[in-house]
Amino acid sequence: QSALTQPASVSGSPGQSITISCTGASSDVGRYNYVSWYQQHPGKAPKLMIYDVSNRPSGVSNRFSGSKSGNTASLTISGLQAEDEADYYCSSYRSSDTPYVFGTGTKVTVL
């Protein structure tokens, strides 16, 4: 049950845009439009930022957007702010027996 692949770290200056990739396989990311993204600050619980590839839950800033192409999903943060500094995880539906596979996680640093 291999994890989805994310870059270990991404950084950007305040106001810039950054994109985090999430690469899976044709059996998960490539097959289903059930990709989610979570933000996790140190010592805190994860927070859902994006679901179904590109939908934002109520209350999540529109600076966060999601997309997918083939086996790779992406999270873009525009207008980067200091409070965006956190770990980000993608997840995808994989099968009825194993509904979730998570990504390896990306640490976002605001320079």
CA distance 63 to 10: 16
Q: Where are the alpha helices (DSSP H) in the chain?
A: none
What are residue 84's phi and psi, to 5 degrees? -80, -10
Binding to other proteins by residue 94, rule CB under 8 A?
yes
Please check whether residue 92 is in contact with residue 29, taking contact to mean a CB–CB distance below 8 angstroms.
yes
Which residues pair with residue 21 across a beta bridge? 74
**Stretch of residues binding other proteins (CB under 8 A), selected from 16-24, 61-69, 74-82, 103-111:** 103-111
Identified binder of other proteins from the candidate list 9, 52, 69, 83, rule CB under 8 A: 52
Q: Which is nearer to other proteins, 16 or 41 (CB)?
A: 41
Task: Identify any residues that bridge with 36 across adjacent strands, giving them in sequence order.
Answer: 91
Among 1, 15, 66, 75, binds other proteins (CB under 8 A): 1
Residue ranges in 25-44 that form contacts with other proteins under rule CB under 8 A: 32, 34, 36, 38, 40
Which of 14, 70, 79, 99 forms a contact with other proteins (CB under 8 A)? 99
Among 2, 13, 42, 97, the residue binding other proteins under the rule CB under 8 A is 97
Listed residue (15, 7, 13) closest to 79, CA to CA: 15
